Structure 1
Amino acid sequence: MALQKTLSLLLLLLLTLLGLGLVQPSYGETMYERFLRQHVDSTGTGGTNLYCNTMMQKRGMTSRGCKDFNTFIHENIGTIISICNTPNIQCKNGKMNCHAGIVRVTDCRYTRSSSSPYYSDRAIMGGDQPPICNYQATASTRRVVIACEGNPLVPVHFDS
């Protein structure tokens, strides 16, 4: 009985930490590493639908379904981190840890999923293949808002 109570308390603690965002379940990444994976491509120029289709899959954003929208920043990490040193502004969630800067980006907007014959056959056979996601790319230089945390400050969330 005591063991069951202890396990219940440990489960409750884990769920609380997950809810607070203090434990990172995906890929064992920190929030900074996740930001880099999802939003930074300093060597690419982007701008094409093929770029978005490839990068969204390569960076793991289509494995459980097609992510509706994502932005890739085409600047070196030093430039992105320097945005964290601009004045604080309010984030969409109301926190005051966001910062704005102007950077080169490719916005990838989900348009549709398609199925290849291989995907259909795997689905019929009980396979668990991810969908083939298609994206529309828009390249631009624009204002972005990122949330930063830590000491020193690093980007942890793309706000807009």
Structure 2
Amino acid sequence: MALQKTFSLLLLLLQMLLGLGLVQPSYGQSMYQQFLRQHVDSEETGGTDLYCNTIMQTWGMTRPTCKQFNTFIQADIGAINNICRNLNIQCKNGKMNCHKGVVRVIDCRLTTGSPGNCRYEGRGSSRNVVIACDGKPPVPVHFDG
């Protein structure tokens, strides 16, 4: 009986997770996932050089070349998705699908190094960010600044 209850709960959880994924636009799903992989780290609150050196290497941003700069948003995905509900503004590429919001971020800037041995400076702050959003409902697909 307990095993059946556990299985039912797991099945319900799986259905909920799939349901959440289904509301995302299919054409933008890969861009949304890429945005999450490159820019969202809701678990960390640091902003140090050690953080940047570790995360840039762990997340594969030091090969085949050292990525010059990356921003990590330190907010839960719900707060980031809510930025897409803010007033539309013009993106750097001229499209009108960008939105501005204040979140905690860590900016990682390359200081020295070669592929696999890149060194970064980290700086944490709360500031305005601009993200491009697409889909129905709109979800973040690009960090614009």
Q: Which bracket does the TM-score occupy, shorter chain normalised?
A: 0.7 to 0.9
Contact 2:57 2:116 in 1 (8 A): no
Structure 2 counterparts to residues 127-146 of structure 1, below 5 A: 130-146=115-131
Once superposed, which parts of structure 1, at least 4 consecutive aligned residues long, lie more than 2 Å away? none
Deviation sequence 1:49-83 (CA, Å, 0-9, x none): 01001111111211210111100000000000000
Give me the TM-score of the superposition, normalised by structure 1: 0.71
User: Could you tell me which amino acid in structure 2 is paired with residue 155 of structure 1?
Assistant: P
Say yes or no: does 1:157 pair with 2:142.
yes
User: Could you tell me which amino acid in structure 2 is paired with residue 59 of structure 1?
Assistant: W
Higher Cα Rg: structure 1 or 2? 1
Give me the TM-score of the superposition, normalised by structure 2: 0.78
Pick the structure with more strand per residue: 2
User: Could you tell me which amino acid in structure 1 is paired with residue 83 of structure 2?
Assistant: I
For residue 112 of structure 1, what is the aligned residue in structure 2? 112
Q: Which runs of 5+ in 1 are unaligned?
A: 1-22, 115-129
In 1, the alpha carbon distance for the partners of 2:60 and 2:80 equals 22
Aligned-residue Cα RMSD (Å) equals: 1.6
For residue 57 of structure 2, what is the aligned residue in structure 1? 57
In 1, the alpha carbon distance for the partners of 2:46 and 2:91 equals 26
In 2, the alpha carbon distance for the partners of 1:107 and 1:46 equals 11
**What count of residue pairs does the alignment treat as equivalent?**
119
Say yes or no: does 1:83 pair with 2:93.
no
Q: Which runs of 5+ in 2 are unaligned?
A: 1-26
In 2, the alpha carbon distance for the partners of 1:46 and 1:134 equals 17
